[in-house]
């Protein structure tokens, strides 16, 4: 049977190859004609490099060269030639090509600040539409935005680039993660991260922090401080061609039960933008150096040594090949990076391979194949409110204490150890990701298309905690291994059709099916006892001390979707659509979910506009999207436990809920886009309002329910998030030699709990480092604790808890400006900022109690308190009562001293780049040499008295953010990049 299958496969492959060759031969029998032309900027007459030259209705096309020229070979016939480029309005011309003839076509493209002709993907399976048709605000970032800044992660690539996107940074340690949030918090206890799609393949997101052996939940947690290593680090920004951001449910409806938090679509390079017959080789090298001097006035000498343990030099190298021919285009790259933050025992090594190949079989058939492999290794120290953090111990050591010595601080009584002992404590993460995708497009008669996509992902993630024998925490040694493997498949089948209903009314209809399946295997084991002389590997531990945990979960979902887009007189656009989802994460009694959408946009007639207004569009949209329950939350789970040496029994681990269904977010959005001064200035304004119903709450069951105080999920919560997004952008100066572009983005977010289901709760993580509360009528979350109250004798108590301030910013913004001189020198700046929130500065509290922070809390203050506090109330003098109050006011977290304004403005990025003149580089056979000098986190303007207002001890969860407790700040970083194309 196997031989027959192999023989059939070989014969089928030979048949397909023969058909392709015969088709190519048949096409070659006709004497082709040539279309030649040049695309230029209508204002400056400068040739446009990389503009796409398309022949609608066929798979033929090319791109302009370095001077804006293009050449295209076509069989005899009548065609429409269309030229597109990001930032310009498209232009098309109808021509007739004669056998052996040549047609000359000049194209002058007008600048388009609103990018109305830009095509964006709006749904699973590749559903796409031009921005002019959309009733939603969708953010786009192209490769030009990513080349000038020292970005090493997708989070940095998105930071400050568009409205509605908030990046919550966590730590200055290399390899750790930041939170991506779109339009605020949509769920109280559920996942608030957007869905990530890479080339149509859904990306599994795993956030991991240290499992120290005392937590058996499986290695994925809300996050221990900023110490969160995420699989988002597996995306190489150098491979990205463009990013599209569907910010809310109304835009992301067609992604269904995973899209309530929005969708980030990443498209990697594929060879687009190259003229036929072109092959480019590119080598890019970048050196980075961290600079901790911005914190010199705030840290002790010992702490400075911890963050300058190594030179903090990072190096990355990438080699890529990009090419295009008459029937193909491709991109392939290999990337190697080694990053050091300077922090003791911190390193991040990354290896990445990516390849995309597209083959245009003929005018009706094309196939695209993509493959990728990433290896990401992170080693880091413990940090963030950890007694076993070298930063913790060094931060509180007086400079007068000699190195390599332990020291007990007389002020707070704590023992601080020499940081060199932490070479016995290692925390490592190893992530490996294989991904692949196949896409087939068939152009059918009567303006119909059939598209099929298949995606595959295999992710293995391992966390290892090693404490060698002799370490004070584990004298006998300790090892913990968490191993996770995720295998996922997704597929879509999509049919699209275009219909002319009348001369002025057209419709595009798309319908399809989507399927997704994932298997998740987890195994954890640990040992705290080792045999004498052993190397302390996993197999060397005493088997009786291993605590293995093993789990397997499987998840699948299927859907059908339909979308219709109507075009009335090329000015009014109406979109209607919906998706039906059924998922294995729903309860067995839960019904399939239907998510509808509708949007409208209207281009105002130009003759009715003010002479200074070039284009105006008003828009509105409505849509629903879901948030899946956690895998397995709907099912009953049992655990086997030993009653005694000879008897075992099953106990409830999770009661399940057969009625569990996804939380549903409904969003309304209205907005306007206006261009002024011949498309030189643009304004986009959007107001949105989201309401999440049936939000998932984890509720502790009653003993009378028979489950034994277990956690059960219910659909009981309701959350609202609303806000305003304003973007002002344009090109104030545009001449042959000078181009100045700027953009100002402002986003407001107001989220509130409308219904807590009768289960308001506090979040008190990490031994009460901060206390926040989720309650009806308040944002998610808010600081919630009492203030200091003094009686007449100075005795301090904590008053009734009250809401003290918001944890997350309510207003964020950024300003980007870029100046290009003589087409060779580019200078750019990116400022970011946030306000409307507070930070509980527990680093300041601990430093002050240790007598290190400032001169206010001295040994005399502490001694006066000890003396006065020892006296009976009636014997205290007024001075002694004031001494007691002063002590508690200066050094107690419930004092207003430590809840600070978290507002800040940062110069996030500054860069200057120089492209050597082509006349120079051509002498040595090269095409381009680009040099870029950049800086990251250049300076911060803030009233916050801690190190960095962005870091947080609750790195991966919005519910745990808000406290800075010995969190390692983000350093300044300088980078030098060299890019050579040949």
The pLDDT tens digits for 795-844 are 998 888 888 899 999 999 999 999 999 889 999 999 999 999 999 998 88
Q: Is the pLDDT of residue 322 over 50?
A: yes
Average pLDDT of the chain, as a whole number: 81
Task: State residue 780's pLDDT score.
Answer: 85
Q: 9: Cβ–Cβ under 8 A, 6 or more apart, which residues? A: none
**Residues in the chain, how many?**
982
Range scoring the smallest mean pLDDT among 189-198, 207-216, 376-385, 421-430 = 207-216
Neighbours of 26 (CB within 10 A): 10
Task: State residue 220's pLDDT score.
Answer: 36
Q: 640: Cβ–Cβ under 8 A, 6 or more apart, which residues? A: 648, 649, 650
Q: pLDDT band for position 706 (50/70/90)?
A: low
Range scoring the smallest mean pLDDT among 216-230, 418-432, 921-935 = 216-230
Q: 433: Cβ–Cβ under 8 A, 6 or more apart, which residues? A: 231, 234, 372, 373, 374, 457, 458, 459, 460
Q: pLDDT band for position 704 (50/70/90)?
A: low
Burial-class residue 95 by CB neighbours within 10 Å (0-12, 13-18, 19+).
middle
Task: State residue 759's pLDDT score.
Answer: 64
With DSSP H G I counted as helix, E B as strand and the rest as coil, what are the percentages for the chain, rounded to 5? 15, 50, 35
Neighbours of 444 (CB within 10 A): 12
- Higher per-residue pLDDT: 942 or 67: 942
Task: State residue 486's pLDDT score.
Answer: 92
Range scoring the smallest mean pLDDT among 64-68, 484-488, 757-761 = 757-761
Q: pLDDT band for position 88 (50/70/90)?
A: confident
Q: pLDDT band for position 543 (50/70/90)?
A: very low
Question: Rounded to an integer, what distance in angstroms lies between the CA atom of residue 459 and that of residue 486?
Answer: 5
Task: State residue 224's pLDDT score.
Answer: 43
- Higher per-residue pLDDT: 690 or 16: 690
Question: Rounded to an integer, what distance in angstroms lies between the CA atom of residue 226 and that of residue 171?
Answer: 5
Mean pLDDT over 788-800 rounds to 90
Burial-class residue 807 by CB neighbours within 10 Å (0-12, 13-18, 19+).
buried
DSSP codes joined into one string, 847-877: HHHTT-S-SSS-HHHHHHHHHHHTS-GGG--
Q: pLDDT digits over 445-499, tens only?
A: 888 899 999 999 999 988 888 888 777 777 777 888 888 899 999 999 999 999 9
3-state secondary structure 358-399: EEECCCCEEEEEEEEEEEEEEEECCCCCCCCCHHHHHHCCCC
Q: Is the pLDDT of residue 764 over 60?
A: no
Question: Rounded to an integer, what distance in angstroms lies between the CA atom of residue 787 and that of residue 782?
Answer: 15
Range scoring the smallest mean pLDDT among 496-505, 535-544, 782-791 = 535-544
Task: State residue 221's pLDDT score.
Answer: 37
In the chain, the percentage of residues whose pLDDT exceeds 70 is: 84
Six-digit token string for 362: 């003929």
Q: Is the pLDDT of residue 166 over 90?
A: no
Q: Which domains does the chain have, with CATH numbers?
A: 33-109 (2.60.40.1120), 119-749+808-837+902-981 (2.40.170.20)
Task: State residue 177's pLDDT score.
Answer: 74
Task: State residue 702's pLDDT score.
Answer: 61
Q: Residue 929, by phi and psi: left (phi above 0), alpha (psi -120 to 50) or beta?
A: beta
Q: pLDDT digits over 93-147, tens only?
A: 888 888 888 888 889 888 776 776 676 666 655 556 677 788 888 888 877 666 6
Question: Rounded to an integer, what distance in angstroms lies between the CA atom of residue 438 and that of residue 449?
Answer: 17
Task: State residue 868's pLDDT score.
Answer: 92
Q: pLDDT digits over 138-164, tens only?
A: 888 877 666 666 677 788 888 878 898
3-state secondary structure of 459: strand
Contact 457, 435 (CB under 8 A): yes
Task: State residue 14's pLDDT score.
Answer: 44
DSSP codes joined into one string, 700-711: EPPGGGTS-S-E
Range scoring the smallest mean pLDDT among 248-252, 333-337, 368-372 = 248-252
Question: Rounded to an integer, what distance in angstroms lies between the CA atom of residue 228 and that of residue 178?
Answer: 8
Task: State residue 282's pLDDT score.
Answer: 93
Mean pLDDT over 71-91 rounds to 85
Q: At what angle do helices 859-869 and 878-891 cross, to 10 degrees?
A: 120
Task: State residue 873's pLDDT score.
Answer: 92
Contact 625, 595 (CB under 8 A): yes
Q: Is the pLDDT of residue 401 over 80?
A: no
Helix (H) or strand (E) holding 803: strand 802-806
Contact 480, 382 (CB under 8 A): no
The listed range with the strongest mean pLDDT (380-389, 544-553, 805-814) is 805-814
Residue bearing tokens 């961290």: 290
Q: Which residues pair with 857 in a beta bridge?
A: none
Q: Is the pLDDT of residue 730 over 80?
A: yes
Mean pLDDT over 406-429 rounds to 76
In the chain, the percentage of residues whose pLDDT exceeds 90 is: 30
Q: Is the pLDDT of residue 546 over 80?
A: no
Task: State residue 685's pLDDT score.
Answer: 96
């Amino acid at each position: 049977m196997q031989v027959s299958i192999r023989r059939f496969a070989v014969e089928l492959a030979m048949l397909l190859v023969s058909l392709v060759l015969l088709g190519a031969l048949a096409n070659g029998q006709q004497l082709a004609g040539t279309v030649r032309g040049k695309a230029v900027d209508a204002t400056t007459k400068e040739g446009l490099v990389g503009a796409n030259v398309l022949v609608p209705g066929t798979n033929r096309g090319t791109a302009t060269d370095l001077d804006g020229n293009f050449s295209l070979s076509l069989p005899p016939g009548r065609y429409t030639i269309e030229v597109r480029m990001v930032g310009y309005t498209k232009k098309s011309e109808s021509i007739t090509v004669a056998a052996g003839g040549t047609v000359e076509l000049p194209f002058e493209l007008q600048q388009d600040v609103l990018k109305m002709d830009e095509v964006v993907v709006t749904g699973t399976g590749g559903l796409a539409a031009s921005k002019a048709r959309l009733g939603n605000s969708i953010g786009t970032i192209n490769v030009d935005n990513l080349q000038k800044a020292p970005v090493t992660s997708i989070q940095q690539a998105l930071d400050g680039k568009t409205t509605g996107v908030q990046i919550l940074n966590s730590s200055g340690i290399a390899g750790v993660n930041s939170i991506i949030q779109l339009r605020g918090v949509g769920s109280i206890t559920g996942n608030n991260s957007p869905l990530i799609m890479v080339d149509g393949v859904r990306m599994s997101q795993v956030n991991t922090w240290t499992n120290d052996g005392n937590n058996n939940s499986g290695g994925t947690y809300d996050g221990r401080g900023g110490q969160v290593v995420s699989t988002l680090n597996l995306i190489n920004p150098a491979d990205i061609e463009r990013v599209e951001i569907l910010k809310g449910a109304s835009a992301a409806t067609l992604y269904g039960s995973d899209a309530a938090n929005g969708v980030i679509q990443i498209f990697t390079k594929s060879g687009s933008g190259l003229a036929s017959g072109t092959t480019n080789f590119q080598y890019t090298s970048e050196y980075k150096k961290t600079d901790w001097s911005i914190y010199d006035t705030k840290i002790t000498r010992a702490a400075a040594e911890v963050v300058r343990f190594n030179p903090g030099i990072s190096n990355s190298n990438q080699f890529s090949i990009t090419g295009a021919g008459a029937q193909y285009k491709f991109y392939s790259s290999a990337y190697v990076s080694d990053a050091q933050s300077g922090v003791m025992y911190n390193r991040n090594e990354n290896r990445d391979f990516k390849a995309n190949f597209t083959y245009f079989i003929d005018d009706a058939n094309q196939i695209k194949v993509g493959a990728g492999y990433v290896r990401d290794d992170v080693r880091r120290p413990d940090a963030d409110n950890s007694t076993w953090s070298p930063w913790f111990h060094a931060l509180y050591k007086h400079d007068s204490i000699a190195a390599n010595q332990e020291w007990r601080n007389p002020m707070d009584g704590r023992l601080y150890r020499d940081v060199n002992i932490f070479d016995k404590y290692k925390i490592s993460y190893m992530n490996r990701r294989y991904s692949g995708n196949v896409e087939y497009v068939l152009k059918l008669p009567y303006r119909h298309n059939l598209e099929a996509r298949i995606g595959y992902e295999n992710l293995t993630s391992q966390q290892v905690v090693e404490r060698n024998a002799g370490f004070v925490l584990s004298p006998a040694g300790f090892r913990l291994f968490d191993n996770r493997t995720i295998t996922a498949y997704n597929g879509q089948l999509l049919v699209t059709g275009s219909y002319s209903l009348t001369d002025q009314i057209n419709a595009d209809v798309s319908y399809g099916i989507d399927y997704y399946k994932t298997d998740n295997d987890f195994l954890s084991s640990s040992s705290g006892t080792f045999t004498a002389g052993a190397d302390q590997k996993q197999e060397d531990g005493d088997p009786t001390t291993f605590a293995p945990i093993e789990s397997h979960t499987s998840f699948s979902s299927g859907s059908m979707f339909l979308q219709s887009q109507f075009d009335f007189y090329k000015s009014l656009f109406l979109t209607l659509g919906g998706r039906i989802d059924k998922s294995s994460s729903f309860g067995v009694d839960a019904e399939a979910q239907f998510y509808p959408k509708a949007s409208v946009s209207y281009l105002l007639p130009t003759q009715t506009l003010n002479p200074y207004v070039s284009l105006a569009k008003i828009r509105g949209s409505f849509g629903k999207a879901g948030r899946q329950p956690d895998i397995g939350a709907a099912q009953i789970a049992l655990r086997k436990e030993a009653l005694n040496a000879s008897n075992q029994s099953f106990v409830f681990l999770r009661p399940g809920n057969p009625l569990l269904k996804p939380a549903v977010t409904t969003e309304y959005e209205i907005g306007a886009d206006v261009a002024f001064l011949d498309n030189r200035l643009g304004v986009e304004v959007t107001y949105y309002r989201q309401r999440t119903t049936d939000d998932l709450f984890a509720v502790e069951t009653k003993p009378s329910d028979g489950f034994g105080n277990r956690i059960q999920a219910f659909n009981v919560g309701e959350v609202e998030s609303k806000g305003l997004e304003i973007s002002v952008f344009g090109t104030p100066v545009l001449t042959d030699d000078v181009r100045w572009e700027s953009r100002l983005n402002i986003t407001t977010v107001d989220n509130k709990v409308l219904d807590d289901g009768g289960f308001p709760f506090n979040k008190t993580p990490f031994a009460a480092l901060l206390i926040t509360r989720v309650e009806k009528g308040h944002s998610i979350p808010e600081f919630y604790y009492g203030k200091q109250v003094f009686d007449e004798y100075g005795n301090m108590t904590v008053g009734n808890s009250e809401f003290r301030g918001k944890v997350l910013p309510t207003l964020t913004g950024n300003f980007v400006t870029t100046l290009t001189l003589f087409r060779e020198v580019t200078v750019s700046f990116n400022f970011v900022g946030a306000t409307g929130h507070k930070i509980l500065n527990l680093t300041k509290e601990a430093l002050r109690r240790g007598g290190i922070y400032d001169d206010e809390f001295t040994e005399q203050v502490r001694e006066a308190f000890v003396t006065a506090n020892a006296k009976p109330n009636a014997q205290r003098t007024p001075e002694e009562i004031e001494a007691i109050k002063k002590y508690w006011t200066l050094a107690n977290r419930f004092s207003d001293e430590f809840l600070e304004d978290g507002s800040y403005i940062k110069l996030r990025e500054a860069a200057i780049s120089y492209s050597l003149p082509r006349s120079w580089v051509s002498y040595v056979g090269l095409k381009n040499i680009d040099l870029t000098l950049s800086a990251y986190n250049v300076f911060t303007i803030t009233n916050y008295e801690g190190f960095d207002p962005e870091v947080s001890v609750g790195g991966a969860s919005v519910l745990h953010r808000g406290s800075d407790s010995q969190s390692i700040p983000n350093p300044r970083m300088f980078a030098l990049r060299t890019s050579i194309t040949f």
